Structure 1
């Protein structure tokens, strides 16, 4: 893994992505010969390092989402031709941002409610629909769009389309966030034509094979970013705390260590083998809940350090992350509850 070097913070997210390109960090976690041949644990470690160095978890998440999507969608499921076309530019940073477009207005990522559709056309497909909450879309050079490609016995079938930013009819509605990394915005597809070679070869099963596992991949790798953000927040709040708060600061430092250890464990589980059965759901749920409890205690740490502008910015980021994928987290917890009720000796 290529490690981020020491570097002054306080530059924009765009500046950090340019720095990641300069350091060769876009090769991390991607398959050889284009990447370093590492895994998701390497992506998580690099995202954590970028978060600590920048002091901004949106930098770490923007990097993580880019690398995860590149590896999981193109590196693991792309055809040889698709890998050869896209991975060199993604690994070098020629394409500096990649986005995944699944969720839709008033539907979230629930497959029964998704409406974006791809209709077969001579030589390719015509895509129409609207996507919401597309991370990195304001700067994305490539967007992977999940769209309905048909129905079988009343069940929707989904494809994943590699959609270049300059595709005619693609409207990235970035507004004031145009050119900003780590931002989210709607994307509209108005009769966008894509050739047949833009469709990832997953036989109409893109939602089950790609979109659903991606949620767990992003959550698991994102734990390392959350761990780094909590450590940053704790350090800011502790500087203003009186000496009598040392006991509580020490307890919070213990929480931080456990959160970091759990985040590393969850990321390593992703590299154990293909398939969602290898994702460490118990650790994922445990770390997220421990982080939430630790944040509650940190918010009332004496001294007012948690009220500073920098600290409040981090609290707002955590609050935003808590609203993302609530349904998925509920599913994880329900699955663990089933194991407990069944008398399973372990939640692993």
Structure 2
């Protein structure tokens, strides 16, 4: 088995590395201190094809796979885990429509992502995160309409998002088979987004609570069949969790690089500390 990168993959990695060092690294510390995502970075990343990597080319995306996305994620996270988190979250939204949704939903969402719009993945609740089956937000069906109520927390990109993929319980007694997913516009009556939440790290990646007070959505907004929300979420995890690992690799590589650079420049007893046995 050959584990070497293809020439195209090497070019993608190189482009992401150059972008991370030229555009993200110089502003990363300030953006983290100010808890601010620099919107111009999204525009620049779109220009060079480093966001919406897995969105099909037919809809304006890169048309690449999850491996190429992992290469990009690792390089961008090297420069700033927070900025990378905001840029890469749209790939999670794209994942939803790679594994579910109608052709009309896929085209609509993919084109919006490719145009630079942000989406939010509204799954986590105070008592339910990776334990998807624990969510309590409700979606009550009335004819051809669902009425959503409840709240979500720590929703990445919520302050920036123009729409949300929302997971809610359509069958209170259905366990993990009682959850459905919906495509909900940010400006839907009854939907509100809280102030950005304070964080200890990755402060350039905004997150907030999202509240649903009798938010009515049409049946056509449901993603997949009723009761398939848990399955959709698990399939999205299959595609998105490796990106968490890729980002962590980028952060670890940065830590090693910074440590080596410090050891080469910090001098004690007449020589760089990297030349001392305990360090070098």
Taking the TM superposition and a 5 Å limit, the aligned residue runs for 1:83-232 are 83-93=106-116, 95=117, 97-151=118-172, 156-175=177-196, 182-207=205-230, 209-232=231-254
- Per-residue CA deviations over 1:170-228 (Å, capped at 9, x if unaligned) read 11112477xx8622221111111111121112341211x22123334332112121111
Is residue 61 of structure 2 the alignment partner of residue 30 of structure 1? no
2:64 equivalent to 1:64 = no
**Any unmatched runs of 5+ in structure 2?**
1-8, 32-36, 264-272
Structure with the higher helix share, 1 or 2: 1
Distance in 2 between the 1:181 and 1:167 partners? Answer: 27
| CA 1:175–1:27: 2 relative to 1, 3 Å | closer
In structure 1, the residue corresponding to 2:127 is in which secondary structure? coil
Structure 1 SS opposite 2:147? strand
Deviation at 1:165, TM superposition (A): 1.4
Q: Mean Cα displacement is larger for which, 162-171 or 57-66?
A: 57-66
Specify the alignment match of 2:70 in structure 1. Answer: 44
- Quote the offset at 1:154 in angstroms: 6.2
Contact 1:138 1:181 in 2 (8 A): no
Residue 165 of structure 2 aligns to a residue whose secondary structure is strand
SS of 1:138's partner is: coil
2:103 to 72, 77, 80: 80
In structure 1, the gaps of 5 or more residues are: 250-348
Kindly state the Cα deviation for residue 102 of structure 1 after the two structures are TM-superposed.
1.2
Aligned-residue offset at 1:162: 0.8
Q: 1:240 aligns with which of 247, 257, 262?
A: 262
Query: How many angstroms does 1:122 deviate by?
Result: 3.9
Match of 2:34 in 1: none
Question: What CA distance in whole angstroms lies between the structure 1 residues aligned with 2:139 and 2:129?
Answer: 19
Displacement after TM superposition at 1:247 (Å): 7.2
Could you say what the CA RMSD is over the residues aligned between the two structures, in angstroms?
2.5
Q: Pairwise mapping of residues 186-335 of structure 1 onto structure 2 (< 5 A)? A: 186-207=209-230, 209-241=231-263, 242-244=273-275
Q: Which of 4, 18, 22 does residue 43 from structure 2 map onto?
A: 18
Contact 2:137 2:148 in 1 (8 A): yes
> Deviations 1:56-88 (Å, cap 9, x if unpaired)?
112222222321321x21233120111122211
- Report which stretch shifted further, 3-12 or 189-198: 3-12
State the TM-score, normalizing by the size of structure 1. Answer: 0.62
TM-score normalised by L of structure 2: 0.76
Please say if residues 26 and 90 of structure 1, whose CA atoms lie closer than 8 Å, have aligned partners that are also in contact: no
Tell me if structure 1 keeps the 8 A contact 2:99–2:232: no
In 2, Cα distance between equivalents of 1:33 and 1:181 = 31
